[in-house]
Amino acid sequence: MFPRPIQTMSPAARVTYQVALPVMLILWLLPLLGVAVTSLRPASDLAQGNYFGVPSRLAFGNYLEIFHNSPFASYMLNSFRVTIPTVIGAVALSCLTGYALAIYKFRGNLIIFFIFVAGNFVPFQILMVPVRDLTVKMGLYDTVTGLALFHVAFQTGFCTLFMRNFIKALPKELIEAARVEGVGEWQIFWHIVMPLVRPAIAALSVLVFTFIWNDYFWATVLTTGSDTQPITAGLQSLNGQWVAAWQLVSAGSILAALPPVAMFFLMQRHFIAGLTLGAVK
């Protein structure tokens, strides 16, 4: 293990480490903690310049206020309406493409694979004008469907990379044995491979959920109103309305961050396995 386990060091070093851990953590999360405290401050505190002191009382009302006086709930709902179908769509499509690229040897296999990988890295702006145009032409501009369709297509790139590598690492003998038995290609995919890729499906689901929930660029390009815009774009426009009402902006920020944070804590192992794919040989 590197660095040396702290247990093998002097008692002084051990105590220092135990103290340094929480101190570093608080420093690291200081901006976030500040916002969390601000979200619970009554407006009067901010008006009187009490930005850092103890809040005069805990104003949970800030959280209620953003629901009552703004389309916040609608934005949140839109985020779910975009994110959940995207997760299902992108993961389903990539199970198919990943299987095709991992199991079969055919000409162009590697090239197709690398087109998916490369496409996943391009700047969004090179897609912006044509994708917006296409969405308008399909009559899906400013709809949740139009936004989700694009996300499904784009995320398929990353998901294919992930799935293909995961399926490629499965034991080949299983599939070969099934072929010898005369099992059909679809049956092999559905009954043999699918049950084995469940961990990959879990990892991709949490990752794609987070990516799409946090997407801001496409939300502003493909949607406009509070009936369709997800929370990221909504929060930005609310920020414009709530000038200097930092307690509301803070409460909104905290709420907008909650779903991906909950996802992360619930499925931490899968989340990290997904993000660090390839970080270990």
Of residues 259-278, which lie at the interface with another protein (CB under 8 A)?
260-261, 263-265, 268, 272, 275-276, 278
CA distance 1 to 15: 20
Name the segment binding another protein (CB under 8 A); options: 56-64, 65-73, 118-126, 194-202. Answer: 118-126
**Token pair of 232 as six digits:** 């990221």
> What is the H or E stretch that residue 170 is in?
none
Residue 68 or residue 279: which is nearer to another protein going by CB?
279
Q: Is 236 in the site for another protein (CB under 8 A)?
A: yes
Whole-number Å distance between alpha carbons of 124 and 151? 11
Angstrom distances, CA of residue 169 to CA of 31, 153, 174, 184? 41, 25, 12, 21
By CB under 8 A, which span of 58-66, 68-76, 128-136, 195-203 interacts with another protein? 128-136
- Residue from 185, 187, 196, 199 in contact with another protein (CB under 8 A): 185
Q: Which residue, 64 or 118, is less far from another protein as judged by CB?
A: 118
Decide: 247 and 38 in contact? Cβ < 8 Å. Answer: yes
Which CA distances in Å does 174 have to 15, 132, 164, 183? Answer: 52, 45, 17, 11
Nearer to another protein among residue 57 and residue 179 (C-beta): 179
- The 66-105 contact track toward another protein, x by CB under 8 A, reads ---------------------------xx-xx-xxx-xxx
| Binding residues for another protein restricted to 18-37, rule: CB under 8 A | 18, 20-21, 24-25, 28-32, 34-35
Q: What is the CA radius of gyration of the chain?
A: 24
The residue written with tokens 């979200």 in the block is: 39
